[in-house]
Structure 1
Amino acid sequence: MKKLLKPALFYVAISGFIALSGCTNSQKKSASNVNAVQKDSLIDYVAQRLPIYEKVKLTTNLNLLTVNDRKVLPLLIQAAEIMDGLFWKQSYPQRDSLLATIKDEKTRDFVNINYGPWDRLNNDKPFVAGVGNRPDGLFFYPAGLTKSAIEKSNLPDKFGAYSVIRKDSTGKLSTIPYHVLYAKELQNASSLLKQAALIADDAGLKKYLNLRADALVSDNFTASDYAWLDMKTNGLDIIIGPIENYEDKLFNARTGYEAYVLVKDKEWSKRLAKYVKMLPDLQRNLPVEAKYKTETPGTDSELNAYDVVYYAGNCNAGSKTIAVNLPNDEKIQQEKGTRRSQLKNAMKAKFDKIMVPIAKELIDADQQKYITFDAFFANIMFHEVAHGLGIKKTITGKGFVREALKEQYSWLEEGKADILGLYMVTGLLKKGELKGDVKDYYTTFMAGILRSVRFGVAEAHGKANMQCFNYFEAKGAFERSPQGVYKVNFDKFATAMNDLSAFIITLQGNGDKVAVEKAQKSAVISKDLQADLDRLTKKNIPVDVVFEQGVDVLGVK
């Protein structure tokens, strides 16, 4: 891990150097060169990159909520805001000193979007002078501590999800639990959830909020995860805490704080309820050897549709999540299942502002009619459902797949969910359980790949989509014209889908980290594809969205 320059010190040194009234001509020239480099390579870069985000206002119909729910909502948003601050401490602890040195307003905005000075949608490229490259272990581990040194250490909880590793002045390593390191902030968030629980009408929500409040200050989330899955009649929801481990690119172990504040769309949720019950049958028919599909997916899971009214922390950094499958605990998944939450309003915004313009530019004119929101919604929804299919525990005695694959786990799991989601759609269409033409789902999936690869291969979903794109291209699942327009071959698309499903499940079941590392090398963007993606940028088609959100936007106090 490369040790970073402290940005505040770098900028103080530079500004002090320029401000000296007694500078020699050579010094003034040197200072001028520094400014020129900053402007040409950084400020101009940011000015070009900032427009890739389209502003979207997060609102919902609050009239559907009870009087008490409207009182609960601001408390949940306040708790979410605390998670936002905690994620900043994880992603870039020197935020205030960094922002204090930046005079360019666009650069400040870009820092806030990325939760730090690295461009998340361009392979973590630094865009502030002096910060260096993003450490793989970010700030979960001491600067300069190698991956090998951690692996060889006798530290308890060295791969813990809810702790950091620190080194004292003597060089001794220790782990500090999150609930100790962030005690003050977590206590404040816990108190807000307790207040919300007192007001909440729904018994399930009340129980969950109380248990989640306790979990935040103990790092013991199991009871609250079960309570969250037990909620059935709630109108409001909040996903809150240290959840995903995408930020830790060293071991894929440490989790980042985040929160979603959600308003349930009960009518849409009712329409989705039937699909979870079909998981065992879909599991049995997976296109892979029998030994890789002996697990039985939980059927107590739920599919729900929500309007999201607040994003905070990890889920708000760079590309915005539009569907969630939780909890991540494999034991709970096997015993109880998961809840798949579709964030409908955010999803619709991405479809209208990004997917449709991409399809008009890159999808064959005769196939553009197959790009539909229903197919987009279903592909994303079944991506989340598909996290429950396949295999959670290796068949080679290496424990859970997550443990065996470590930092290679996240991108491959996202790739599995993508391809098995499409497999589910295909199977449900054949059974008559899903309406529409398979051409809609396949073409929309193709356009979805072209959307997601713009996130860059440093991001798990982008890497998964890039690997899928290259696999499908090799199988002839689509053709690219000399003009850079893509046309789906529907028969070969189905074959490639089955082959890639078997390939990924086998990699996971074997827990073969070396083979997965080899597979990830195919997740590269070709010159032709990059040229096509560059056309999207020149057409000012956004890559993702940034939200206007909060109590003022919603009109609640």
Structure 2
Amino acid sequence: FTASDYAWLDMKTNGLDLIIGPIENYEDKLFNARTSYEAYVLIKDKEWSKRLAKYVKLLPDLQKNLPVAAKYKTETPGTDSELNAYDVVYYAGDCNAGSKTIAVNLPNDEKIQQEKGTRRSQLKNAMQAKFDKILVPISKELIDAEQQKYIKFDAFFANVMFHEVAHGLGIKKTITGKGFVRAALKEQYSWLEEGKADVLGLYMVTALLKKGELQGDIKEYYTTFMAGILRSVRFGISEAHGKANMQCFNYFKEKGAFERTAKGTYKVNFDKFATAMNDLSAFIITLQGNGDKNAVEKAQKTMAIIPTELQSDLDRLTRKNIPVDVVFEQGVDVLGMK
């Protein structure tokens, strides 16, 4: 599959894209090593993709300014990477089982990532569906009434997009001689890497807004991120993204980045949000760079848990019949080919 990964990255002008093969290792709870087969059929949105292309060139500068000790940010992210937007027309296998993917950053092979970069694919129509059917209804129920005006699709799109881009930032090889972070952390790798992408994605949004490379109000991005945590954690904490979300929720809560009001809604404290984001970024990258599996296990046990109060709030969403995820109508039936 290595040769096909290189060849896939070399395809730049195609309007139709196909992702197929044994790709993600989330299902392997033992060593995070065995991958599952999946396939996507994607149609490239060339206009949106053009708008996104500039961000990849900014990666080396963002890497240099990461809020962590210098020894953890000496690697240079590949700038041959692509950032594209697509409409997805078909899901099969692992990506269609359980939660539906809305963005992918591939290939996963660290050697290819360092030599050639990655392609970050944003699945725009799937994002829009989750925003309209799930994120907005959740926000109306659980986000402070005064802050609901900050829930925006463009902020949701950017938060998800920069989550994927952020997988390319930080550290791939330990500084303690334990090899690649993925190999050193084994089954603890995936959830911590997803947590890194969550907070570094937000760090990128914050930095790009300050540079004038991104438009909008930081309050929109932070409030939509908060609503995004409440959306994603409903998938449960047995899965990597759920654990990552709960680490972020509990860490941000501890730092006063948000508060739960007497009305049972969540209100973002914008100044403290940025501080918590930087602190958690440093915490995660340090754990990864040290390759300290025991410390990561401890972090998971203490932080990747759903507090009782939050669970009762999530139960309110279920009673309101707000779906956990979208289900796709696809295939020969929809195409009228049966």
CA change 1:519–1:393 in 2 (3 A) is same
Q: 2:11 aligns with which of 224, 228, 231?
A: 231
Look up the match of 2:108: 328
Look up the match of 1:250: 30
Q: 2:53 aligns with which of 262, 273, 284?
A: 273
Deviation at 1:554, TM superposition (A): 3.7
Look up the match of 2:239: 459
Q: 1:542 aligns with which of 296, 302, 323?
A: 323
Q: What amino acid maps onto 1:328 in structure 2?
A: N
For the residues of structure 2 that align with 1:370 and 1:555, how far apart are their CA atoms? 41
For the residues of structure 2 that align with 1:554 and 1:368, how far apart are their CA atoms? 38
Q: What amino acid maps onto 2:233 in structure 1?
A: V
Deviation at 1:232, TM superposition (A): 1.1
For the residues of structure 1 that align with 2:333 and 2:317, how far apart are their CA atoms? 34
The sequence identity of aligned pairs, in percent, is 89
Deviation at 1:555, TM superposition (A): 5.1
For the residues of structure 2 that align with 1:326 and 1:345, how far apart are their CA atoms? 19
For the residues of structure 2 that align with 1:397 and 1:531, how far apart are their CA atoms? 44
SS in 2 for 1:307: strand
Q: What amino acid maps onto 1:304 in structure 2?
A: N
SS in 2 for 1:424: helix
Answer yes or no: is 1:533 the counterpart of 2:314: yes
1:444-455 equivalence runs, <5 A: 444-455=224-235
Q: 1:358 aligns with which of 138, 145, 148?
A: 138
For the residues of structure 2 that align with 1:484 and 1:256, how far apart are their CA atoms? 40
Look up the match of 1:442: 222
Cα shift readout 1:375-433 (whole Å, capped 9, x = no counterpart):
00000000000000000000000000000000000000000000000000000000000
Q: Please provide the CA RMSD for this pair.
A: 0.9
Cα shift readout 1:505-539 (whole Å, capped 9, x = no counterpart):
00000000000000001111111101100000000
Q: 1:401 aligns with which of 181, 189, 203?
A: 181
Deviation at 1:294, TM superposition (A): 0.2
Deviation at 1:556, TM superposition (A): 6.6
Q: 1:377 aligns with which of 157, 160, 176?
A: 157
SS in 2 for 1:503: helix
Runs of 4+ in 1 over 4 A off after TM superposition: none
For the residues of structure 1 that align with 2:310 and 2:148, how far apart are their CA atoms? 19
Q: What amino acid maps onto 1:423 in structure 2?
A: Y
Structure 2: runs of 5+ lacking an equivalent: none
Asked whether the equivalents of residues 457 and 523 of structure 1 are also in contact (C-alpha less than 8 Å), the reply is: yes
Cα shift readout 1:452-509 (whole Å, capped 9, x = no counterpart):
1101000110110011000000000000013210000000000000000000000000
For the residues of structure 1 that align with 2:139 and 2:336, how far apart are their CA atoms? 35
TM-score scaled by structure 1?
Answer: 0.60
TM-score scaled by structure 2?
Answer: 0.98
Deviation at 1:300, TM superposition (A): 0.4
Q: What amino acid maps onto 2:172 in structure 1?
A: K
Cα shift readout 1:67-96 (whole Å, capped 9, x = no counterpart):
xxxxxxxxxxxxxxxxxxxxxxxxxxxxxx
Answer yes or no: is 1:284 the counterpart of 2:64: yes
Look up the match of 2:211: 431
Structure whose alpha-carbon radius of gyration is higher: 1
1:103-502 equivalence runs, <5 A: 221-502=1-282
Deviation at 1:265, TM superposition (A): 0.8
Deviation at 1:551, TM superposition (A): 3.6
Q: What amino acid maps onto 1:543 in structure 2?
A: V
For the residues of structure 1 that align with 2:176 and 2:298, how far apart are their CA atoms? 19
Asked whether the equivalents of residues 354 and 542 of structure 1 are also in contact (C-alpha less than 8 Å), the reply is: yes
For the residues of structure 2 that align with 1:491 and 1:551, how far apart are their CA atoms? 51
Q: What amino acid maps onto 2:308 in structure 1?
A: K
